[in-house]
Amino acid sequence: MPYAEGQTVLRRYVRDGRYTWVQPMRVVRDDAAGLLLWHPAGSEYARVVDADGNTQHELSLDLMRDPRLLRQPWLDYDILVLMPPDTAYSVWWFFADGKFAGWYVNLEAPYRRHDDGVDTVDQVLDVRVDPDLTWRWKDEDEFVALTGHPLYFDAATADAVRAVGEQVIALAERAAYPFDGTYVDFTPDPAWPVPRMPAGWDRPDARP
């Protein structure tokens, strides 16, 4: 069943059978075009951090000492996130003080639905697209370093991830949907409260 407009769902990343990212988001729409979610600055989220303060940008999950989900505020940008069905990426619209500030393409596994949200696997490599449609890879060095790591992806999977990124880049270069001006003037329902973590958000195990 589709999620209801205005419902809060959890968008989560999974790695090695545990959640590494949990983000409460407001449902804007949920239909054949995809799941569209809203997360304003001032909301909260959680990411995996180890006892020394390292994130997965500094250490792979297996090298972290006592990793745990750390709840923290979401700062700087409001984001609108589109998760197309059966697609290995999501597209984020960034807004700063209500003004569109560019897109972010998060390369990730096709998402799986649960009653309380969606789970996916972050593939490390991302793409930033500016409002003028210029683009650049993000976290490419990290992506290369993790290729072949047993908890991340082998070389064939890494090639497939990059190929998906190149397909989305081609859409941006043509100013094709979703880089055609859609949603750049989006405003949320003013009646929506800031989404918060619901009870049970921090369970340690990821669902199959």
Q: Which of 18, 113, 128, 138 is catalytic?
A: 138
For residues 93 and 88, give the distance between their C-alpha atoms in angstroms, rounded to a whole number. Answer: 17
Whole-angstrom Cα distance, residue 197 to residue 22?
A: 9
Other beta carbons within 10 Å of 11: 21
| Nearest CA-CA partner of 177 in 134, 138, 133 | 133
∠ at Cα 201 (198, 206), nearest 5°? 150
At residue 133, the 3 state secondary structure works out as coil
Paired strand residues for 21: 13, 47
Q: Check the CA dihedral 14-187-96-103 and report its sign.
A: positive
Identify whether 99 is a catalytic site residue. Answer: no
What is the Cα–Cα distance from 91 to 183, expressed in whole angstroms?
A: 11
Residue 108's nearest CA partner among 86, 75, 80 is 86
Which residues belong to the active site?
138
